[in-house]
Amino acid sequence: MNEVLKAIAERNSCRNFSSEPLTDEQISALVNAGLAAPSAVNRQPWHIIVVTDKALIEEMDKSAMEIFKESNQELYDRMIERGGSVFYNAPCIIYVAKDDSDWATLDCGIVTQNIALAAHSLGLGNVICGMANAPLNGPKGDEFKKRIKLPTGYSFGMSICIGTAISGKEPHELDPQKVTYIK
């Protein structure tokens, strides 16, 4: 199996990171993988924001958990079962912000997938995290948007938590029932 197909097959969602920081070289490789993503009409409607400020990550994590506790008890309980954290102690959160163009959401997903596969290929654990939007929309949302330097005219597209995995798990099982062939 070639290396790309192997990375796709083996990648899994990590929800248990060590606090070991990423190196500048690792971050650069991840950012470049994201920037290499294709986009509709090559508009590149994204802005990549790399957050490694541990105090800020912890503050946003706490805010998200408070929001879930007040607004969605089922989600809150699930997060408590998974360790009580949205960011799972990841030392790096990469936000992929999007502009308001027609294909921006799709294009940001492609950026995020490139980063996830690159992280796996570098031996890093990762989990794509839509819940990272919660602190940006909560009571301290404007403050957090300023602190992560969200550009004017951009909004949350997707995010990914990245770091050294403490424990691993098997990738999800493939479901051939999700495929239709027309010949």
Token pair for residue 157? Answer: 């597209």
CATH topology of domain 3-178: NADH Oxidase (3.40.109)
Closest listed residue to residue 149, CA positions, set 45, 27, 50, 63: 50
Question: Could you list the pLDDT tens digit for every one of the 183 residues in the chain?
Answer: 799 999 999 999 999 999 999 999 999 999 999 999 999 999 999 999 999 999 999 999 999 999 999 999 999 999 999 889 999 999 999 999 999 999 999 999 999 999 999 999 999 999 999 999 999 999 999 999 999 999 999 999 999 999 999 987 888 899 999 999 999
* Residue that the structure tokens 């654990």 belong to: 125
Q: Domains of the chain: which residue ranges?
A: 3-178
